[in-house]
Amino acid sequence: MLKQLTLAMLLSSLPLYTFATPNKTLANTPPMGWSSWNHFGLGIDDATVRAQADAMVTSGMRDAGYVYINIDDGWEGERDANGILRPNNKFPDMKALANYVHSKGLKLGIYSSPGPKTCGGYEGSYQHEEQDAQTFAAWGIDYLKYDLCSFFNIILEEENEQRARQLLRNAYIKMHQALQKTGRPIVFSLCEYGIDDVWQWGATVGGNLWRTTGDIEDNYKSMARIGFGQAGLSSYAGPGHWNDPDMLEVGNGGMTTDEYQTHISLWALLAAPLFAGNDLTHMTAETIALLTNAEVLAIDQDLAGKQGEQVYANDDIEIWARTLADGSQAVGLFNRSQSPQDIQLSFKDIGFNHPVKVRDIWLHKDLGVLEKQYQTMVTAHGVVLLKITS
C-alpha cells in the first residue's frame, strides 16, 4: 500500500462538491469483520479465505458481530475480450467462494482501485467502473474497498487545482453510482489515506466509511499515532458513514497484550470499523478474548453512533469519552508512557455533577457508586476502559 501521500499543496482551500449520499440502509453501525491485508498481503487465495471464514465461525467471532470476510489486493486477473475482469488462478470461482462465505452466515468483501492498477500492480477499475460493479454484484459481493493507488498519479498530472479536486471526488462518485446501479447492497469503503480531509466530503460521494490515515503497522507507535490522531473528527461520523482509522493488528504479535487492549479500546471509543487483520486460524485464547469482549464491542456498536473525543491530554496521559445511547459514558484512561502512571478522572469533566456508577469493562467488574472522581494506576501503554452511568 502507499504509505506517504499528501495533496496539501495541490488541493487547498477550494469549494466542496456535493455529488451523492451514501446508502443509509448499510453500515448503520461500524462494519465488523476480517481483512486479508495486514497478515497475508498479496499472498491470499481461495483456500485461505475459506479457512478464515470457517475460523470466524468456530472462534465465536461471527456470533460476536464480525460478519465481513474481505479479500484485499491480490485476487485480480486479466480482462477478457469484452473487458470483463476475471480473478487470477488463485481464485478459480469467485461466485462459488461467495456462496461458501454466505453459507456460513457471513458476507464477502473485495478490493479494487479507481486507477488503472491496484497498489500491488494488479488490474484496477479505471474506465471499467460499471463493468466491475456488475461483476462484483453477480459474484455476490457485499463490500468494496476502493483504494486510490495509481489514480493518485492521474490527479497529480492535473495542473488546475479545482479540476484535481473534482477528479479525486469523481473517482469515488463514479464507482458509487455504478454500485447503486447494480441494485445490490454493497458497503462502499473509500481508501485514500485521508487526503484532502476526506471526512469532510466522504459521505457526499457515497462512502459508508473512509480511511482517515495511511496504513497501520503492527507496533505501538504506529497504532497510537493513528488512533490518538483522530481527535477532532467526531462530527463527521454517524450511522451509515464512519471515520476509518484502518484495520486491527490484534493477534499479529507486534504488540503486548496491554497495547492490543489499548488498540481495540480506542477503536471502540472512536466508533471505528473493526476488521481483524490477523490469521484467524491460529489464534490464542487471549487474542480471541481481546477480539470478542462483548462489553467492548457494545461500545463500538452503540446505536447512537456518536464517535468519542479526547477530553483530556497532558504529556503521556489521555482521556477519551464517548456518549452512548442510554446516556452513559464510555471512558478510556490511556497511559502513553513507558512506565505505570496514576490517572484521575473527574466526573464533572464528562458531564456528571452527581454520584455515578462505574464499571471496569476489561475486568468485567462493577466499582460501585462514586461521588466526584475515580483514580487508578494504568500500566505502561495500557488503558482502563470504564462505563459510567448516572
Express each pLDDT in 97-119 by its tens digit.
999 999 999 999 999 999 999 99
**Mean pLDDT of all residues in 275-301:** 98
Say whether 215 is catalytic: yes
Q: Which of 310, 316, 298 minimizes the C-alpha distance to 378?
A: 316
d(CA 187, CA 70): 11
Q: Which of 355, 356, 312 minimizes the C-alpha distance to 334?
A: 312
Ranges assigned E (strand) in 23-79: 32-35, 68-70, 76-79
Three cell numbers written together for 37:
491485508
pLDDT at 1 over 60: no
State the Cα angle at 119 between 133 and 69, rounded to 5°.
55
**Which has the higher per-residue pLDDT, 158 or 385?**
385
Which position among 45, 72, 132, 147 bears the catalytic label?
147
d(CA 16, CA 374): 44
d(CA 266, CA 273): 12
pLDDT at 161 over 50: yes
In tens, the pLDDT along 114-152 reads: 999 999 999 999 999 999 999 999 999 999 999 999 999
* Mean pLDDT rounded to a whole number for the chain: 94
Strands 274-276 and 242-244: unpaired
Which amino acid is present at 199?
W
d(CA 239, CA 9): 32
**Mean pLDDT of all residues in 153-160:** 92
Question: Residue 151 belongs to what H/E stretch?
Answer: helix 151-157
Three cell numbers written together for 191:
481508501
**Which has the higher per-residue pLDDT, 19 or 234?**
234
Which position among 197, 215, 258, 349 bears the catalytic label?
215
Per-residue confidence band for 23, with pLDDT thresholds at 50, 70 and 90: low
Dihedrals phi, psi of 291, to nearest 5 degrees: -80, -20
Ranges assigned E (strand) in 202-349: 209-211, 242-244, 274-276, 309-314, 317-323, 329-335, 341-346
Three cell numbers written together for 332:
478510556
Task: Report whether 272 contacts 198 (CB < 8 A).
Answer: no
* Gyration radius of the chain over CA positions: 21
Q: Does the model's pTM come out above 0.85? A: yes
d(CA 34, CA 278): 8
Q: Which of 260, 233, 232 minimizes the C-alpha distance to 244?
A: 233
Three cell numbers written together for 371:
461521588
**Residue 7 confidence (pLDDT):** 44
**Helix and strand counts by DSSP (H, E) for the chain:** 11, 18
Three cell numbers written together for 103:
453459507
Which amino acid is present at 131?
Q
Three cell numbers written together for 94:
469467485
What SS3 state is found at 325?
A: coil
**Residue 52 confidence (pLDDT):** 98
Three cell numbers written together for 365:
467488574
Buried b (16+ CB within 10 A) or exposed e, 97-120: bbebbeebebbbbbbbbbbbbbbb
What SS3 state is found at 353?
A: coil
Say whether 326 is catalytic: no
Task: Report whether 160 contacts 12 (CB < 8 A).
Answer: no
**Residue 4 confidence (pLDDT):** 38
pLDDT at 11 over 90: no
pLDDT at 299 over 80: yes
Which amino acid is present at 328?
S
Domains of the chain, each with CATH number or no CATH: 32-300 (3.20.20.70), 309-389 (2.60.40.1180)
Per-residue confidence band for 2, with pLDDT thresholds at 50, 70 and 90: very low
**Mean pLDDT of all residues in 56-76:** 98
pLDDT at 95 over 60: yes
For 328, which DSSP code? -
Strands 373-378 and 341-346: antiparallel
